[in-house]
Chain A
Amino acid sequence: MAQSPESSEIATKSVHDVAAGQPRDFCMTFVDSGQSIRVRSGVPLLQAMIAAGVSPVQVGCRGGGCGVCRVRVIDGSYTALAMSRSRISAADEDAGVVLACRIIPQSDMSLQPLPLDIWRGRVPGRSGNVSHKSGEK
């Protein structure tokens, strides 16, 4: 039940409602490694991963802007805060491809790390990379 970014206010409200009520722990399982962590209700997934010292994705901006903490939700429900459309498209979001920093688990979840490699395996400054032509246009 991923919510659209436009409903971030609703998502935020529901987070607060959960936080105000009885806190619950949910179990997050990463399908590739089999690692699992507990997440307290109302806590963003990435924040819980940092606290647990288990982060199969990189920690980046923590605000939905950079995209490096991308994961695919295999199973489970969550609410989502706004994520930059330049990193997570509407189709991505519909397919459960989200940013760990912006989702608030609402149940136990199964997750697949989907780290964003912006350099696509290349090394900056080396041949076969970005062009470095200079001079007059």
Chain B
Amino acid sequence: MSIHGVLRLGEVCVRVLDIDAARTHYGDHLGLIETGRGGDGTTYYKCWDEHDCHSVVIRPSDQAGIDHVAFKVLDDDTLTRLDGRLRDYGVETRQIEAGAYPRSGRRVEFTLPTGHVCQLYAFKEQVGNGMSATNPGTVPDDGYIRGMRIIRLDHCLLGGQDIAASRDLFIKVFGFYLTEELQDHETRAPLASFVSCSNKPHDIAFVAQPDDAKLHHISFLLESVNDLYHAGDRMGKYDIPIDFGPNRHGVTRGATIYFFDPSGNRNEVFTGGYIYYPDNPPLIWDTSKFGNALFSQGNVVVPSFLNVVS
């Protein structure tokens, strides 16, 4: 497989209730690299091994949650093609001109069946990862990797009612693959669906929730279980509320800690998992093994993991 359409989740914009507390969280405690600020306090971050100028945006608001998620696509022709495919599928798209979002090319915006605003873009200014593109070496200078040593933004889990429709849109329009699904063991209704456009076990996932447009979590990749424990130590040091972990998910096999930003938006740091190929069979879990699917060391169902969203 080669990745020639949608490349990755390239941007999330999270609403925060207290921008100063959020900057301390994302900038100091997570160690994301601040790359810009807007007039309203909106603040832009990248993770250390990302080349694009930002992937995490925090915006002051009176409501927690997520403004939009945005996927980077290969090039402008791909953007045009995928816009057409969306409209052929019956999805209304909105054209956002280049520069409307800082340091970004034009975007195509649409709303998912689960109520989330989703964007596609082909260009964002690149600032590098702290190493030259020529004879780069293997690590940037001291101080570039900080905090929880987060490598990159990896995926997000969005909550809403008709998760099957959002799942199908990514599969049928963008060519994502269903990697795993958690189903009710009696009705076979999907409770959580995981789809990938890459070799990762998921690039985006959807979880059944009674209200649309909800954020379950944004997730950041770490290098090792050692770094996962290091991140957990920092959560203790800075009194960051932990939802659950460290543990390992059954679904995706990632070793994980879930925690909250100061506005109650859930974050995840994780490491590990498997390499996905499109000829892998979708892995189906059901609620007869609910705990095993969720947190496989102890096989526990964590209530807050199911009903706490922003």
Contacts and interface: CB of A to CB of B under 8 A. Distances in A.
Contacts of A33: none
B210 A122 contact: yes
Interface of B: 17-18, 62-65, 89-91, 113, 161-165, 167-169, 172, 183-184, 186-187, 189-191, 208-211, 241, 243, 260-266, 287, 303-304, 306-310
A63 B262 contact: yes
A120 B287 CA distance: 20
Contacts of B310: 61, 65-66, 84
Determine which residue in A66, A84, A85, A136 has the highest number of CB atoms from chain B within 10 A of its CB, and name it: A66
B260 to A, nearest CB: 4
A66 B308 contact: yes
Interface of A: 5, 8, 58-66, 68, 81-86, 118-120, 122, 124-127, 129-137
Given A86-B65, A125-B287, A130 B210 contact: yes
9 contacts: A61-B241, A62-B264, A63-B260, A65-B260, A125-B184, A127-B187, A134-B168, A136-B90, A137-B91
A86 B162 contact: no
A84 B184 CA distance: 31
Given A68-B307, A118-B210, A118-B307, A133 B187 contact: no
Contacts of B165: 133-135, 137
Given A61-B264, A68-B307, A125-B183, 5 more contacts: A63-B264, A65-B264, A119-B210, A124-B184, A125-B191
Nearest to B262: A63
A118 B214 CA distance: 12
Nearest to A60: B308
A66 B183 CA distance: 24
A82 B90 contact: no
User: Nearest 10 pairs between A and B by C-beta?
Assistant: A65-B264, A61-B264, A125-B184, A65-B64, A134-B164, A63-B264, A65-B310, A82-B17, A62-B241, A130-B161
A79 B181 CA distance: 44
A60 B216 CA distance: 12
B162 A118 contact: no
Given A85-B62, A137-B165, A66 B287 contact: no
Given A84-B65, A119-B307, A134 B241 contact: no
A82 B287 CA distance: 36
A133 B18 CA distance: 38
Contacts of A136: 89-90, 172
A135 B65 contact: no
B304 A58 contact: yes
Contacts of A64: 17, 64, 263-264
A66 B264 contact: yes
A68 B306 CA distance: 12
A10 to B, nearest CB: 13
Nearest to B215: A65
A128 to B, nearest CB: 11
